[in-house]
Structure 1
Amino acid sequence: MIEEAEERGDGWHLHTCFMTNKDAPFVAQLLASHPNNVCAYFANGEENRRLNIPCFMSQLEHDAHIYTCGPTPMMRAVRGTGAELPSEVLHFECFGSTKDSNETAFEVQLNSSGKVIPIAANKTILQALQDADIQISSESGICGTCRTGYIAGDVDHRDYVLNLDQREKCLMACVARSKGRIVLDL
């Protein structure tokens, strides 16, 4: 990504966060080769220097894009701090799921047929649709393949794929939940 940005002549900065310096592969090389573009933050150890997300984001240029990958609390902080930014400038990549142990049952309704499918507390929308012979693929809320349109309902979005505008019309069937009924555009 760095090489591509430099080939295009795009400006870039990398802010990378780790628990300790020992957990930071390649940071010394990045700092040496790009001293004006790389900043490393360490939560623990003698380096104890954490990234202040609100402060960092308040100093960005107006046309900056933010690419975020990391633990769920950090991704939530970036999404929350960037809530006023145009949704197309925030980009997220996650390597885990956002499942909660206190799930509740709810329903989805297929708009085309009116069929109601119950979603058990221990199932996802995706699993329930597949059980009903409606095929959608995916399992983790990070790849985007189970993106499904919806028409009505209070959706609890748990993905890191959809931006705020997209969330008004789409959900990720592998991780989205609700406290009531969602009408799917299926």
Structure 2
Amino acid sequence: MQPTRNGISHSSSMLRYGALFLLLLSMASSVCAQRRTFETSITSKLNVDVCPDMPIMKNVKKTKLLGYWYAYATTPLPFRDYQRRCASYNVRNATYFDTNILYTNYKSLTITYSCKYVQKKDKWNIKLRILTRTRTPMASTIKEAVDFLEKVKFPLDTLDWLKSEAFCFEWYQLKIETGLRPKDFQAPFNRPGD
């Protein structure tokens, strides 16, 4: 072996780099396995045999909830890129407010909830969103949401905290139906490149 300038042979140096590479590869593999286990755990918490009994609000004042809202936190969605522009929904005849509002203070916070049967999985799928009036709500608003969800025993570890990446939508109410709104304002689904 030929010693290098600092007395360490080239092959000895290569062995050290190889060992370091194997260590990093092993750590990355372990992290991936932990992530898969975590995602499986979340999936099992959100796909259940029976919907948990949740205290859906009664007599929600829909007109007080009209306007802009941001999904600050949500159970996992089928898409990862959230658009920055707002989608709009005419809620004039919507029964959503009678069946899906878990909590609201009408000013800065609304928590929506649904549990729907998915035949393909033969399970009930739970969806929850923490909605705020701004993309950057006060800490007290988030604490109010977390306190409520802990009280009803909702698993907080299942939520994606979108924070400032929160997608926006508007609930509005027309007195008469004038037809569909322009496509850009219909739904919060993303297309590639949005």
Specify the TM-score bucket, using the shorter chain as the normaliser: under 0.3
Q: Which has the higher helix share?
A: 2
Which one scores higher on RCO, CA 8 angstroms, separation ≥ 6? 2
TM-score by length of 2: 0.17
